[in-house]
Structure 1
């Protein structure tokens, strides 16, 4: 797992900030912005902003148009259905690795993040809910101790966060959080059958919500 104490680069800071601006729709689909405008808003130079945008382009968040600016891409529901197909077996692999390798401290962190997620879900607080969901996903991937999984899951989770921030109804927060709690409980008990069954239940629900979103406008 990457050393959490390593200082973050300016490019990483820019990436996290712009990614969140897009996910939260501060930069809405169809918006056209410039490197200079983003750098001014973030108080960062053009170089880290340019590096961040190059990374965001690779995961489909933006299109870079020379001499015109940077276009924020739309959220594609069909692509998200494809993403769910890819993520399901990878999430199962993450769970197996965590069960095999996680320390007691790792498991305590997962349980603490799950508790926070349940509280945010009950309050229907979209911002806090997605903050805890991101932290939980990152803690799970980190506890797998597999750098290849870390580099693979990061972009997939980012794309999922963007979709769910736009389309997940607050009414489903408690159901999803409860399933996450079941998965984490199975992992903490090192019971792979329980964890994998929970992942199957979760992805069946996510698929249903995604398909319903085909006929619904964005929620935010």
Structure 2
């Protein structure tokens, strides 16, 4: 299967991002980074003015953010940023574990050599950011790696499903993951990528098990502390 091909071998060309997608990415990042903190109330107009976008793409972006639990839309009052919920995150981890295993198996079966090389490059960037304890770069690098992994699975349903789950995870971990854990977490990701690049499903799945045990422990420890940012 060539790079940019789907399950049936047909070529998939990248399309320009829509204004709604641009708005979604920008507002999502504002919420994840807590520029829009839990409890904040904003209007479509305020967001559109800040992003230099019209109401329609902003409204479409907010509908997507509402669907993944980032905001509540209150007619005539505005848009409320929801709190980060630890119990919901534990439930999310239960859902993500088998899906991450499925992604890894799909990448092993379908990923091109070029895509596997991109995973190696992505995990190197994550390790560097973790070592520097640079929060912004660390989470940006983790997003790049996750998206590269999911895209290499060549499964549109997984792509859309994992995009929402990864966004919810990023929001939680940006708030609660201590910088002291960055290196350990990055090394576990490196082990998963090593298994995928070697096309060794057993190694990759074992690494995913280690990762989710680690994330579960960190989530439970977060019950006893305040948000870090």
With normalisation by structure 1, the TM-score equals 0.98
Q: Distance in 1 between matches of 2:152 and 2:19?
A: 26
> How well do the aligned residues superpose, as a CA RMSD in angstroms?
1.0
Q: Distance in 2 between matches of 1:152 and 1:79?
A: 17
**SS of match in other structure, 2:142:** helix
1:30 to 30, 39, 63: 39
**SS of match in other structure, 1:129:** helix
Report Cα offsets for 1:169-208 as digits up to 9, x if no partner.
0000000000000000000000111100000000000000
Q: How does 1:34-73 map to 2 (within 5 A)?
A: 34-73=43-82
Q: What corresponds to 2:223 in structure 1?
A: 214
Report Cα offsets for 1:61-93 as digits up to 9, x if no partner.
000001100000000000000000000000000
1:183 to 183, 188, 192: 192
Q: Distance in 2 between matches of 1:90 and 1:43?
A: 37
Q: How does 1:143-158 map to 2 (within 5 A)?
A: 143-158=152-167
| Gap runs ≥5 in structure 2 | 7-11
Q: What corresponds to 1:122 in structure 2?
A: 131
**SS of match in other structure, 2:36:** coil
The reply on whether 1:101 has 2:110 as its aligned counterpart is yes
User: Which runs of 4 or more aligned residues in structure 1 lie more than 4 Å from their structure 2 counterparts after TM superposition?
Assistant: 1-4
With normalisation by structure 2, the TM-score equals 0.95
Q: Distance in 1 between matches of 2:118 and 2:199?
A: 15
**SS of match in other structure, 2:72:** strand
**SS of match in other structure, 1:70:** strand
Deviation at 1:5, TM superposition (A): 3.0
| Gap runs ≥5 in structure 1 | none
Q: What corresponds to 2:9 in structure 1?
A: none
Q: What corresponds to 1:91 in structure 2?
A: 100
